Amino acid sequence: MTGYSRKHWDPTAEGPLEGIKVLDLSRLVAGNMLSLQLADFGADVVKIEPPVGDPLREWKEEGLSLFWKTYGRNKRSVVLNLRETADREAFWTLIDGADVLIENYRPGTLEQMGFGPDALLARNPDLVVVRISGFGQTGPYAEFPGFGTIVEGMSGYAYRTGFPDREPVLPPLALADMIAGIYGMSATVTALFARQQGKARGQVIDLSLLEPIFSVLGPEAGIYALTGKVKERTGSASNTACPRNVYRCADGQYVALSGSTPAVARRIFEIIGRADMNEDPRFSTNSERLKHRDLVDEAIGAWFSVRSHDEALAIMRDSGATVGPIYSIADAAVDTHFTEREVIVSLDDEDHGVLPMHNIVPRMSATPGGFRRPAPALGEHTTEVLAEAGVSPEAIAAILAGTAQ
């Protein structure tokens, strides 16, 4: 862990979203991804957690709560039991001064709690309410559980992932949640900008997990409507561009290669000693190469199979081909690009001394984000945040007594 650029928490660090107050009622990944982006760039994100805490705290690796330490950074934690009168009143006080509220209850639950958008916007007309759910606030599936796994299956993503002779493959991470979180951050900042420009006051953002991941699959709907074709699984190959695949080298390591432009495809054939393929009608265009993908992969695979990983990469890169290694985190951890560009950084951690995590993304030259505080302990800032909002000491004492575990 000592090879990464060392960063330090700086409570005075500012960002372009300085002054924006966010209440995050969400649980697990999508909402935390959204609020992480806002927090990294200076927004004051307050996690409103129940007495048992956000379940993300319990996503552990060998007993270590590293998901929370990463996605809880730059946030503050307040514990409120929204079934209790004093806690509900304190929540309304927080709403008065908030710019954004994020929630991911099943559609209709927020209304049942008495905190539906109509009530929230009546109380604070400038509030941006982000509602995250699996399938959206409307439609036949609105009330279905909204876990990313289900959405990744129904979106068409899993159908396209894997090899044609095997079962569809779900992603090994919370992909639908992550994509929705990034879309949600974009929508939230857009709503705030619209408010600043006087084009709107507060509004409701209906953010499903389904639509963002569906949108990144490309023109699937148009292809199906106009051609009647359903794109099938192709393993690591592509049914859009060829050559494109993962190839095994002589030493058992793998590389990824893409020839998605005509010039690069021609160059690859020249590098592997098959310039003749450039004159063969079966390989002269991308459409024809796709029809004869097995022959393309056979030729390229044969070239890689007799060369070591490092040798093949050097030859391909020196010749201008688009090729790269297949990394595990162990490989990325020692790659000089990752360290010199600070893709991974180390931050002070009270439990582990230092803790590596991904840097703030993206990089902004004039208004960068900053590392202000580590992920909070459950309820660490309850007194601080409620006092700032104007909740009385007596009410805070009652809340603390009622939420103590």
Catalytic residue among 24, 40, 87, 177: 177
Q: Which amino acid type is present at position 11?
A: P
Which bin fits 286, alpha (ψ -120 to 50), beta or left (φ > 0)?
alpha
Reference 115, options 35, 21, 23, 20; nearest CA is 23
In the annotation, is 177 catalytic?
yes
- In angstroms, rounded to a whole number, what is the distance separating the alpha carbons of residues 366 and 359? 17
Length of the chain: 405
- In angstroms, rounded to a whole number, what is the distance separating the alpha carbons of residues 339 and 232? 38
Reference 405, options 381, 374, 379, 386; nearest CA is 379
Per DSSP, 276 falls in state G
Reference 101, options 38, 15, 12; nearest CA is 38
**DSSP string spanning 55-105?**
GGGG--BTTB-HHHHHHTTTEEEEE--TTSHHHHHHHHHHHHT-SEEEE-P
Helix axes 393-403, 85-96, angle to 10 degrees: 120
- In angstroms, rounded to a whole number, what is the distance separating the alpha carbons of residues 128 and 110? 15
Reference 2, options 353, 371, 375, 370; nearest CA is 353
| Sign of the dihedral defined by the CA atoms of residues 52, 58, 64, 65, in that order | negative
Which residues are identified as catalytic? 177
